[in-house]
């Protein structure tokens, strides 16, 4: 079970986005930072619930996903749909088209497909940790944009799973991890993939209706 909490300072948008991951034998608290969940040793929410005081409020999973797209897809269920201990292999969604990512960016299926092809043509299959060129965590072995809507059983660390739906043209990536990075995958420190790239942003005026 996962519970989500935020801190508000009206009229500004919510910040200090945190969650409690309730496992069978433990509780883990994490904070959302730079598009991913990080371990939080401060235990703000746990202390707030235990002492009955604090400045965070609980929100629903739907509201959490709407405010921070992609943030509810980690935790008990990681962003890998298949995991094999002996092969250190994960297969999961790399990017979902027509949906804002953690940085409020998005792309359509055609541009996403072009980017995937160019990525493959470069011939560099190395996967880096948090885009750090000096930390090669593994290499991708397979990649494709799945052409249909699909429901995938996403595997939890305890071996159970829950179904998650992905739209057509979602890009799935299969990665074989270095032994040290595989330990991070199994421990929940690596919960998914983060795509990197370059783009040109255009500012345009949207047409308005005539009075």
Neighbours of 157 (CB within 10 A): 16
Strands laid side by side in the 12-22 sheet: 36-39, 27-33, 12-22, 2-9, 56-59
SS3 state at 113: helix
pLDDT at position 17 is 85
Question: Would you state the torsion angle of the CA atoms of residues 60, 61, 65, 71, taken in this order, to the nearest 10 degrees?
Answer: 130
Neighbours of 13 (CB within 10 A): 9
Side-chain-side CA neighbours of 105 within 13 Å: the count stands at 13
Based on the domain organization, do 161 and 128 belong to the same domain?
A: yes
CA distance 40 to 49: 15
pLDDT (0 to 100) of residue 59:
87
One domain, residues 98 and 163: yes
The pLDDT tens digits of the residues spanning 39-86 come to: 777 778 877 887 776 778 888 888 888 888 778 765 444 444 555 556
Write out the residue range of the structural domain in which residue 47 sits. 2-73
Residue 152 is assigned to a structural domain of this protein: yes
Please work out, in degrees rounded to the nearest 5, the angle formed at the alpha carbon of residue 75 by the alpha carbons of 115 and 99: 35
Q: Is residue 205 part of a domain?
A: no
Cβ atoms of 80 and 92 within 8 Å: the answer is yes
pLDDT at position 92 is 85
Give the pLDDT score at 141: 92
pLDDT at site 133: 73
Count: domains in the chain: 2
CA-based end-to-end distance of the chain: 51
Q: Given 73, 101, 123, which residue is the final one in a domain?
A: 73
Residues of the chain with pLDDT under 50: 75-80
Tell me the residue ranges of DSSP E strands in 66-186: 82-84, 89-95, 126-128, 136-146, 150-155, 161-166, 170-177
Cβ atoms of residues 4 and 59 within 8 Å: yes
Residues written for the chain: 211
The H-or-E segment that residue 82 falls in is: strand 82-84
Domain membership flag for residue 203: no
What confidence score (pLDDT) does residue 10 get? 67
| 35 and 110 assigned to the same domain | no
> Which element (helix H / strand E) includes 183?
helix 179-187
- Do 138 and 171 fall into the same domain? yes
Residues 91 and 178 in one domain: yes
Cis, peptide link before residue 11, omega less than 30° from 0: yes
| Residue after which a domain boundary falls, among 27, 46, 73 | 73
pTM: 0.54
Residues 16 and 101 in one domain: no
């Amino acid at each position: 079970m996962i519970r989500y909490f935020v801190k508000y300072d009206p009229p500004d948008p919510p910040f200090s986005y945190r969650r409690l991951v309730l496992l069978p034998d433990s509780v883990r608290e994490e904070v959302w930072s730079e598009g991913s969940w990080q371990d939080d040793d401060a235990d703000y929410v746990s202390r707030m619930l235990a002492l009955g005081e604090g400045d965070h409020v609980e929100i629903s999973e739907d509201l959490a996903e709407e405010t921070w797209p992609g943030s509810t897809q980690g935790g008990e269920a990681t962003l890998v749909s298949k995991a094999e201990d002996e092969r250190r292999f994960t297969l999961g969604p790399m990017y979902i088209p027509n949906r804002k990512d953690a940085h409020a960016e998005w792309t359509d299926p055609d541009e996403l497909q072009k980017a995937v092809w160019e990525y493959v043509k470069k011939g560099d299959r190395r996967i880096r940790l948090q885009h750090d060129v000096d930390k090669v965590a593994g290499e991708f072995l397979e990649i494709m944009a799945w052409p249909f809507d699909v429901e995938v059983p996403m595997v939890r660390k305890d071996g159970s799973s829950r179904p998650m739906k992905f739209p057509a043209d979602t890009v799935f990536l299969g990665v074989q991890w270095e032994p040290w990075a595989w330990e991070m995958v199994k421990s929940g420190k690596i919960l998914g993939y983060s795509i990197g790239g370059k783009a040109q942003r255009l500012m345009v005026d949207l047409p308005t209706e005539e009075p």
